[in-house]
Amino acid sequence: MSERRAYDLQTHTDASPCSRTPPDRVARAAVDAGLDGIAVTDHDTTENVAAVRAAAPPGLEVIAGVEVTTTQGHLLALGVEHPPPKTDPQTVIEDVHDQGGVAVLSHPFDRLRQYYDRDLSAIARRVDAVEVCNSRCVRKRYNDRARSFAAKHGLAATGGSDAHFPMEVGRARTVCTGDPLAAIRAGETTAAGRARYLSGHVATKLHQLLR
């Protein structure tokens, strides 16, 4: 029996414009959250992966990742050497696979951020997994829709905090046994976590402000 392990498969460092968390703080936050590992997924760069890895204690696995800006939504490239091109989802997925990595749709139906709204069945045929629990989705239905999409297409489910601050690390997790990328390919992951959902009223206000 291999033991169940918990990974936060979406974290940001100060290599992302929207985060100010230095690499060593991300590593420390992951340990404090009791995680077995994290994926470092800065926007379109792998610049800080090595620094997080250097700061991580022996028990903490650090997966090299990128949150890729596609022509639709964001896409998590996990287990890649370099950032995939910022282009259409199909080409990005192909590049991730060419690098031996795993491609995950990131908060795919969060309409307050970048989201996917076309070619969905074609994308579902190529992608490896769907992030069904993203703790930065302010409306529960965005995560619910991702979860039903994954179930409908028989895709693996992942969870990630999308942390931009240390205290957010670990708020959403991917649970599996053994290597997380192998578990994703085998469709043997589960996703859990909490999100800071805003009430419908606040979300509407926010939406109006963002329009």
Min CB(107)–Zn ion separation in Å: 6
If the CB atoms of residues 28 and 107 are measured against Zn ion, the closer one turns out to be: 107
Min CB(1)–Zn ion separation in Å: 34
Min CB(12)–Zn ion separation in Å: 6
Determine the distance from the C-alpha atom of residue 202 to the mean position of all C-alpha atoms in its chain, rounded to a whole number.
25
**How far is residue 15's CA from residue 48's CA, in Å, rounded to a whole number?**
6
Closest CA to 102 of 209, 20, 183, 207: 183
If the CB atoms of residues 28 and 74 are measured against Zn ion, the closer one turns out to be: 74
Q: 105-134 burial, b for 16+ CB within 10 Å, e for fewer? A: bbbbbbebbbbbeeebeebbeebbbbbbbb
If the CB atoms of residues 149 and 186 are measured against Zn ion, the closer one turns out to be: 149
Min CB(117)–Zn ion separation in Å: 15
CB 155 within 8 A of CB 187: yes
Min CB(43)–Zn ion separation in Å: 7
The contact set with Zn ion (CB under 5 A) reads 67, 74, 106, 162
Query: What H or E segment, with its residue span, contains residue 159?
Result: strand 156-160
Beta bridge partners of 8: 38
Token pair recorded at residue 94? 């192909």
CB 108 within 8 A of CB 115: yes
Min CB(140)–Zn ion separation in Å: 18
Residue 204's contacts (CB-CB under 8 Å, 6 or more residues apart) are none
If the CB atoms of residues 137 and 176 are measured against Zn ion, the closer one turns out to be: 137
Residue in this structure with the two tokens 């709204």, named with its chain if needed: 117
